[in-house]
Amino acid sequence: MDNQEPRDKKKISPERKGLYYAGMAMMGIGIILFLSVFFIAFTGDPFAHEGNFMQNGFFGFILIGIGSFVMNLGARGAAGSGLVLDPEKAREDLTPYTKAAGGMLKDALEEMDLPSSKSVPKEVVRIRCPHCKELNEEDARFCKSCGKEIG
């Protein structure tokens, strides 16, 4: 039972999924209503329709805004979307997304074949210039300070 509890925190609740899909549906209907104004305007006489044909576009625009808010609320939760100001709850609400982003970043870094930060640092050997006593790289032929030849 204890092993499943952290796993459940990382999953999105069915209520939030429902809100997300409801917001998506509202946005879809809003887009259709908004675009219907242009369809009516280009296919015939817009004033032949009963009532004001522009109100479809207005309601569609409003529905798109409300739908995107509901979709954001469903995706990120009340605290994660900023509706409720509680940092601890926000972290909990955003856990599925932060874990996914961290996993994607880890996968990308593995693909790049970068040297591991856990690798042993390379030993650096320096040679002192006999003329000015400046430390130089071990393979240097000339001193980086005085320019004279090293041994």
Residues 130 and 107 in one domain: no
Alpha helices in the chain (DSSP H): 4-9, 14-43, 54-80, 87-111
List pLDDT tens digits, range 105-120.
666 777 776 666 566 6
List pLDDT tens digits, range 24-55.
999 999 999 999 888 877 877 666 656 677 88
Please report whether residue 103 resides in a domain. Answer: yes
Task: Specify the DSSP class assigned to residue 124.
Answer: P
Residues 125, 138 contacting (CB under 8 angstroms): yes
Across the chain, the runs of DSSP E, i.e. the strands, are 126-128, 135-137
Please report whether residue 26 resides in a domain. Answer: yes
Residues 95 and 141 in one domain: no
Neighbours of 111 (CB within 10 A): 8
Q: What's the whole-number mean pLDDT along residues 98-103?
A: 66
Residues 128 and 100 in one domain: no
Residues 69 and 107 in one domain: yes
Residues 53 and 104 in one domain: yes
List pLDDT tens digits, range 135-149.
998 888 899 889 999
List pLDDT tens digits, range 5-19.
444 556 777 888 888
Residues 85 and 18 in one domain: yes
The predicted structure's pLDDT at residue 4: 44
Domain range enclosing 135: 124-151
Residues 105 and 130 in one domain: no
> What's phi and psi for 37, nearest 5 deg?
-60, -45
Residues 79 and 140 in one domain: no
Please report whether residue 79 resides in a domain. Answer: yes
Task: Give percent above pLDDT 90 in the chain.
Answer: 21
List pLDDT tens digits, range 45-89.
666 656 677 888 899 999 999 999 998 888 877 777 767 777 777
Nearest to 76 by CA among 100, 52, 53: 100
Domain count, the chain: 2
Please report whether residue 144 resides in a domain. Answer: yes
Nearest to 54 by CA among 30, 37, 42: 37
